[in-house]
């Protein structure tokens, strides 16, 4: 978790630090509530879903930054044009790993 806090400290404004610091806690709390309510089997599916979403978001973020840096696209056009990549990656990974 300290890696997320350190990553958040690199960005300006510092409000990003709160976003990066909260992500692991929210994920763990969600899994704990899911285990207590629906059991470990269902929670394992939720955990894999979170990991697929995180991988998809990471690829999306890299792609957007490359579009903005290499092709000088505006932030709005780069993010909007990259949304299909995010969705296809997330749904593709969920289709592969969550059968």
- Written as tens digits, the pLDDT of the chain (99 aa) is 456 556 555 655 555 556 666 777 888 899 999 999 999 999 999 999 888 988 998 999 999 999 999 999 999 999 999 999 999 999 999 899 877
Query: Pick from 44, 47, 51, 80: which is nearest to 63 by CA?
Result: 80
For residues 43 and 58, the answer to whether their CB atoms sit within 8 Å is no
Please give the Cα distance from 13 to 30 (Å, whole number).
27
User: Residue 34 has which token pair?
Assistant: 């899911």
Please give the Cα distance from 10 to 1 (Å, whole number).
15
Helix and strand element counts for the chain (H, E):
4, 0
Please give the Cα distance from 47 to 86 (Å, whole number).
18
pTM equals: 0.73
- Check residue 71 and give its pLDDT: 95
Query: Pick from 51, 55, 33: which is nearest to 42 by CA?
Result: 33
């Amino acid at each position: 978790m300290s890696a997320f806090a350190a990553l958040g400290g690199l960005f300006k404004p510092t409000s990003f630090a709160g976003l990066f610091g909260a992500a692991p806690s929210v994920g763990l709390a969600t899994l704990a509530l899911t285990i207590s309510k629906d059991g470990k089997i269902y929670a394992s599916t939720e955990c894999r879903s979170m990991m697929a979403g995180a991988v998809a978001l990471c690829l999306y973020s890299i792609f957007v930054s490359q579009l903005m840096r290499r092709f000088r696209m505006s932030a709005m056009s780069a993010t909007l044009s990259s949304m299909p990549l995010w969705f296809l990656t997330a749904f593709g990974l969920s289709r592969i790993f969550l059968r």
